[in-house]
Structure formats: structure tokens, C-alpha cells
């Protein structure tokens, strides 16, 4: 999860809830402002969550656990129009459907139906703490078009550590990862943008533990990498990457893309590849082999142009995919077929 215009996913709100509590989603700055920071470095400072959780896992039914994203500072919170359907169905590699957004929120069923109508036949729902990971596992158990990724987000790891709960939280992730429709550990990784120096050891310990879980369960891993490219690559080399390693919301440049692809990692591109000031992402896309490319929304964040700043959702995947195809100079159907095959290679059949 990455508040726009950040490229690496999963940045948590600037005001953090207690570990394991129902977190709130951060505000997203309005798209297109000249004052916006670079989409590859981070969100606007001072974004504030709205405390309107719909429930917590501890309160009972996981289906009632939802967060609600703030509309503060956003000019338009209506959902964009649906794009034309894709000719070849694909999947959303990474999304956060537990976060309700927009002037009229969409239920999980509504999100999946909208996606299906435009050729997005499934999603990988990603967790970032204990509650959202439990929700993700519940969603995958409940819906045949949902697979789950579960993890403690790198920005949450120091909070759990300070509370003396990191090991217990990782144990919950281990338990969830054994479920048959949990197909990835994620999002995990390193984030040196939002975490102070004293929190980095907890991030590294958590990242290494999550790598071990992906290997233990024989499932993929989705990486959150924010201002930590070298450290992430070094950690993967030092401890050994899982067989299926995905850089979710890839945020590096062409040189990093070459390294990642040479090592067999997958690069997942989100809507920020369409932003005017994200040339580094387009350069990375240009050198990434087609069999290493995935596509994602990181919804409700990172809505592709021309809808930047409005709510994102899996049904907008065709906008980003067609942009990727145009950048590579290939037909959208050709890229769709390859991306669909890549997704199934990483996560298995839906």
C-alpha cells in the first residue's frame, strides 16, 4: 500500500495505530499538483488518517474489518469511469480492498464484479499487519477470484517490536501462510523513507523472517522497497531469495531492473508508471523482459493518469496495462497474455 505518489508500496499512515489495531489509510494528495513530491520518493508530508475503522478482527467476523481512506486534500473522490474490457483477461498482482474509498464505497463483491466486467479475473489481496492479513486470508477463502498475501509491513515491524509483539505477529503470519489460498508472503521488505534509524534493525529482522516463511511454505514473496534498493538486494543475496520473488510497485531504475531480472525476480508495475515525473519507471519497464512483468493497482492508491488522485480499484488495471503495452510497442493482447501467464507462474491458478 503506497499513498500516491509514492512508488514503493505499503507506506503506512503518518499517525500509526497500535500494532494489530484497525489501521486507517492515509490521505492522498490531489493529482497533478506542482507541489507534489516525486512519485518514486514518497507521499506528501503531514497526510493524516481519518479514524473511522469499521471493525477489528478481534471484534469477531473478519468480513467486518475495513479501513476508510481520508478524502482530505483530494479534489475528486469519485471513482473513474470503467475502461474498455481487455481482450485477454489478466490479474491484479497487488491490491488493498480492505480500504474503503470514494464518495460511495464499494464492497468486496462490487470490486470483483467491476473488475471481472473489464477482463480482470482475479486479484492478490495484500496484508500489512495482523488484522489486514487475517482479512486478506478471509477474503481468499471466501471468494474464488481472490488470492491472499500476508505479512507485517516494514513500517509496522518497528511498532510491533517496541510493543514486544513482533515475534507473535510473525507467528500469526506463519499460521495464515499455511492456508491453501494464501499464495504469497507480502508485503514485506525495507522502507528507509518512513522509518528512523532505530527502527531499521527491526525491519531487517522482520524481512529476514518473512523470507524464511516464504521458503518454508513454498509460496511467493511480495517486496515493499522504499528508498532501500541496495539493502533489499543485498539482503536477498545474503539470505537467499524465495523461488518466486516480486518487487511490488517497482520503484527502481533501469539498472536495478536489469539486476532484478537477471536474478529471476518479477517486477510489478502500478499506475504511477503513467505519471509524468516517473521516467525512471518507464526506463525500467523498457529493459524488463516480458516474462518478468506483472501489473497491479496498489488500490486504492496510485491511480493511473488521467485519473491521478481519484480512487483506484482493480477495474482500472486495463488503463495501466494498455499504457505498459504502448510503452513497449506491443499489442495489449500480447502483453495481457504474457502478464496472465506470469501471474499464474508466480501464484498458481486462482
Judge whether 71 lies within some domain.
yes
Task: Copy the grid coordinates of residue 180.
Answer: 491453501
Whether the pLDDT of residue 140 is over 90: the answer is yes
Whether the pLDDT of residue 129 is over 70: the answer is yes
Write down the pLDDT at residue 192.
Answer: 95
> Three-state SS string across the chain, please?
CCCCCCCCCCCCCCCCCCCCCCCCCCCCCCCCCCCCCCCCCCCCCCCCCCCCCCCCHHHCCHHHCCEECCCCCCCCCCCCCCCCCCCCCEEEEEECCCEECCCCCCCHHHHHHHHHHCCEEEEEEECCCHHHHHHHHHHHHHCCCEEEEECCCCCCHHHHHHCCCHHHHHHHHHHHHCCCCEEEEEEEEEECCCCCHHHHHHHHHHHHHHHHHHHHHCCEEEEEEECCHHHHHHHHHHHCCCCCEEECCCCCCHHHHHHHHHCCCEEEECHHHHCCCCHHHHHHHHHCCHHHEEECCCCCCCCCCCCCCCCCCHHHHHHHHHHHHHHHCCCHHHHHHHHHHHHHHHHCCC
225 vs 158: CA distance, rounded Å? 16
Roughly how many angstroms between the first and final C-alpha of the chain, as a whole number? Answer: 22
Judge whether 210 lies within some domain.
yes
Among 31, 22, 13, 40, which residue's Cα sits nearest to residue 77? 31
187 vs 177: CA distance, rounded Å? 13
Banded model confidence at residue 21, pLDDT cuts 50, 70, 90: very low
Write down the pLDDT at residue 42.
Answer: 34
230 vs 21: CA distance, rounded Å? 32
126 in Cβ contact with 149 (< 8 Å): yes
Each residue's pLDDT tens digit, 204-238: 999 999 999 999 999 999 999 999 999 999 999 99
Judge whether 52 lies within some domain.
no
Whether the pLDDT of residue 251 is over 70: the answer is yes
Number of residues written out for the chain: 350
Each residue's pLDDT tens digit, 277-331: 999 999 999 999 999 999 999 999 999 999 999 999 999 999 999 999 999 999 9
- Domain range for residue 197? 63-347
Judge whether 316 lies within some domain.
yes
Q: Nearest-5° angle of CA 215, CA 206, CA 70?
A: 110
Q: What percent of the chain has pLDDT over 90?
A: 75
Higher-pLDDT residue of 57, 266: 266
Averaged pLDDT for residues 75-95? 96
- With left for phi above 0 and alpha for psi between -120 and 50, is residue 255 left, alpha or beta? alpha
Banded model confidence at residue 53, pLDDT cuts 50, 70, 90: very low
Write down the pLDDT at residue 41.
Answer: 33
Judge whether 134 lies within some domain.
yes
Averaged pLDDT for residues 72-88? 93
Write down the pLDDT at residue 235.
Answer: 98
252 in Cβ contact with 287 (< 8 Å): no
265-275 b/e (C-beta count within 10 Å ≥ 16 → b): bbbbbbbbbbb
Out of 30-34, 114-118, 272-276, pick the least confident: 30-34
Whether the pLDDT of residue 175 is over 80: the answer is yes
Higher-pLDDT residue of 57, 77: 77
Write down the pLDDT at residue 67.
Answer: 82
Higher-pLDDT residue of 107, 24: 107
Write down the pLDDT at residue 55.
Answer: 45
Judge whether 58 lies within some domain.
no
Judge whether 111 lies within some domain.
yes
pTM score, whole prediction? 0.85
92 in Cβ contact with 343 (< 8 Å): no
Question: In CATH, what number is assigned to the domain containing residue 101?
Answer: 3.20.20.140
Out of 3-7, 115-119, 340-344, pick the least confident: 3-7
Judge whether 89 lies within some domain.
yes
Out of 53-57, 190-194, 222-226, 301-305, pick the least confident: 53-57
169 vs 185: CA distance, rounded Å? 13
Higher-pLDDT residue of 132, 5: 132
The total number of structural domains that make up the chain: 1
Q: Could you tell me which residues come within 8 angstroms of residue 35 by beta carbon, excluding any fewer than 6 positions away?
A: 29, 44
Whether the pLDDT of residue 34 is over 70: the answer is no
Q: Could you tell me which residues come within 8 angstroms of residue 230 by beta carbon, excluding any fewer than 6 positions away?
A: none
Amino acid at each position: 500500500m503506497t499513498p500516491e505518489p509514492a512508488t514503493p508500496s505499503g507506506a503506512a499512515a503518518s499517525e500509526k495505530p497500535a500494532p494489530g489495531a484497525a489501521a486507517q489509510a492515509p490521505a492522498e494528495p490531489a493529482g497533478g499538483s506542482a507541489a507534489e513530491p516525486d512519485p518514486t520518493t514518497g507521499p506528501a508530508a503531514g497526510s493524516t488518517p481519518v479514524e473511522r475503522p469499521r471493525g477489528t478482527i478481534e471484534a469477531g467476523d473478519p468480513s467486518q474489518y475495513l479501513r476508510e481512506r481520508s478524502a482530505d486534500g483530494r479534489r475528486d473522490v469519485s471513482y473513474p469511469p470503467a475502461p474498455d474490457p481487455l481482450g485477454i483477461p489478466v490479474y491484479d498482482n497487488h491490491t488493498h480492498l480492505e480500504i474503503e474509498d470514494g464518495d460511495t464505497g464499494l464492497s468486496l463483491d462490487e470490486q470483483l464484479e467491476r473488475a471481472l466486467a473489464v477482463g480482470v479475473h482475479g486479484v492478490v489481496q495484500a496484508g500489512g499487519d495482523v488484522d489486514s492479513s487475517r482479512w486478506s486470508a478471509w477474503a481468499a477463502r471466501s471468494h474464488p477470484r481472490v488470492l491472499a498475501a500476508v505479512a507485517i509491513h516494514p513500517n509496522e515491524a518497528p511498532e510491533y517490536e517496541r510493543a514486544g509483539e513482533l515475534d507473535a505477529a510473525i507467528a500469526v503470519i506463519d499460521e495464515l501462510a499455511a492456508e491453501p489460498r494464501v499464495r504469497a508472503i507480502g508485503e514485506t521488505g525495507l522502507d528507509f523513507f518512513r522509518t528512523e534509524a532505530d527502527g531499521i534493525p527491526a525491519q531487517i529482522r522482520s524481512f529476514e523472517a518473512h523470507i524464511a516463511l516464504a521458503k518454508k511454505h513454498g509460496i511467493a514473496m511480495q517486496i515493499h522497497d522504499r528508498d532501500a534498493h541496495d539493502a533489499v538486494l543485498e539482503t536477498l543475496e545474503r539470505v537467499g531469495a524465495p523461488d518466486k520473488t516480486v518487487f511490488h510497485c517497482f520503484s527502481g531504475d533501469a539498472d536495478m531492473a536489469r539486476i532484478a531480472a537477471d536474478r529471476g525476480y518479477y517486477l510489478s508495475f502500478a499506475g504511477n508508471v503513467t505519471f509524468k515525473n516517473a521516467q525512471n519507471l518507464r526506463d525500467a519497464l523498457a529493459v524488463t523482459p516480458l516474462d518478468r512483468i506483472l501489473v497491479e493497482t496498489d488500490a486504492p492508491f496510485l491511480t493511473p493518469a488521467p485519473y491521478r488522485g481519484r480512487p483506484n480499484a482493480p477495474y482500472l488495471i486495463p488503463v495501466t496495462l494498455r499504457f505498459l503495452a504502448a510503452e513497449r510497442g506491443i499489442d495489449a493482447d500480447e502483453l495481457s497474455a504474457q502478464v496472465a501467464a506470469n501471474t499464474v507462474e508466480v501464484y498458481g491458478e486462482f
